[in-house]
A and B are shown apart, each in its own frame.
Chain A
């Protein structure tokens, strides 16, 4: 059975999701930040983590965005193959939702229309949209507004198969060390391993949208996530990069098959304002 969905519905949801994501952190992130206060050993680090708690309360109660960098809107849309869209072009409907959300929600417009000419588009469009076709007659929307303090510190490494898992560990640690205080730690580290040059970057971005409380289903990947979190938190970077034992809240790793000649690794770093909102229509 074909199910018809009006693209107006997509616009309405994206609009609300932009506002929601920038004022309320998801439960998994809130819990991770709360736990961090107890774990942190440095006095200044603890003080910063307490300020982040207060910041979340003010954001929620006074409707002030958690961070002034309300991000470039990254949207994953999973479309059931039994869905038929009616109305304006889906891409336009999504961008219209972003436009309305950023204008009505008093969110910062941080997008320039051309990377070299750099004129602000004044409504935070266009979004970066990733489409996928899945089973069923539903549409799943994941919105992840991405700030660029941490995006700028993200890296892709084209490793050799011989570099193996040790090479992957080194790549992750080097990216985090380079990011240091610039990426607003405590950070969430999204890692993509495998695929091609662009696929591993996408895997890393998707990894950031996973719950920070859940580990990978693949046993060796779960172990790697835990080991890397431990190693990262031994670097001493700490909250705000001002020294401490909580540098990352989680390491989320997604994997994909790759070529016999390669081992691509992408490390997408996100600050503690790791925003993601999910809705199903």
Chain B
């Protein structure tokens, strides 16, 4: 099913999203990948708050290529989410509602998704030029020294994603593959 949603994403919204739904996201999403997540943990360990509110937030696992003049961003497709598996449950427990990436997640992440009524979306890997067209604005939030791994705040319009793991724990990576597997 095709759906259009606007951020922030509440549990009311995620409850209505099901594995296999094709979703267009508009609004604000945050960008963070490996090195930024490591710093998030250090910040939280020290008892400090992150530079943006996690409540009902969407984090996109991505590291863009540099923007050419006059453009908000360069190529901007998803990176492999499993590298953030170690960090994701803690952030979900603190209010983050959605993750955008690609690839499998651990059971710990799936449990945290269900526990928090969250959602895991996949964007099409390797379609960074196409996805960059849905990004209207990009600004630095923190960790500029990390270059391509800095935390960004993006304004997106009809950013296309697919629900892979929904708030009930249904996992499209398992069900869809079974459908097309020949014994």
Residues of chain A at the chain B interface (Cβ within 8 Å):
41-42, 44, 47-48, 51-52, 54-56, 58-59, 62-70, 106-110, 118, 120, 122, 147, 149, 152, 180-182, 184, 234-238, 240-245, 271-273
B62 — nearest CB in chain A belongs to which residue?
A: A68
Interface size on B, residues (CB 8 A): 47
By the criterion CB–CB under 8 Å, are A243 and B176 in contact?
yes
Known: A240-B162, A241-B102. 10 other contacts (CB 8 A): A51-B127, A52-B124, A108-B64, A110-B63, A180-B173, A181-B102, A234-B181, A236-B179, A237-B177, A238-B176
B77 — nearest CB in chain A belongs to which residue?
A: A68
By the criterion CB–CB under 8 Å, are B74 and A55 in contact?
no
Between-chain CB contacts (< 8 Å), 20 pairs: A48-B124, A52-B124, A54-B130, A55-B126, A55-B130, A58-B132, A68-B148, A69-B79, A106-B66, A107-B65, A109-B147, A120-B146, A149-B103, A149-B125, A180-B104, A182-B80, A184-B125, A240-B102, A241-B173, A244-B176
In the complex with contacts A67-B75, A109-B147, A181-B104, A240-B124 CB distance below 8 A? yes
By the criterion CB–CB under 8 Å, are B74 and A273 in contact?
no
By the criterion CB–CB under 8 Å, are A68 and B125 in contact?
no
B65 — nearest CB in chain A belongs to which residue?
A: A108
- Asked whether B122 is an interface residue with its Cβ less than 8 Å from the other chain, the reply is yes
Alpha-carbon distance A110/B176, docked complex (angstroms): 33
Main SS of the interface on chain A?
loop
- Asked whether B44 is an interface residue with its Cβ less than 8 Å from the other chain, the reply is no
Give 5 nearest A-B pairs by CB, closest first: A243-B176, A236-B181, A184-B125, A182-B103, A236-B180
By the criterion CB–CB under 8 Å, are A65 and B182 in contact?
no
By the criterion CB–CB under 8 Å, are B103 and A181 in contact?
yes
Mask for B151-183, Cβ within 8 A of A = 1, else 0? Answer: 000000000101010000000110111111110
By the criterion CB–CB under 8 Å, are A66 and B182 in contact?
no
A98 → chain B, closest Cβ, in Å? 15
User: B68 to chain A: which residues have CB within 8 Å?
Assistant: 63-64, 106
User: B104 to chain A: which residues have CB within 8 Å?
Assistant: 180-182
Alpha-carbon distance A44/B82, docked complex (angstroms): 23
- Asked whether B141 is an interface residue with its Cβ less than 8 Å from the other chain, the reply is no
By the criterion CB–CB under 8 Å, are A68 and B75 in contact?
yes
Alpha-carbon distance A124/B71, docked complex (angstroms): 22
Alpha-carbon distance A138/B103, docked complex (angstroms): 43
User: B62 to chain A: which residues have CB within 8 Å?
Assistant: 68
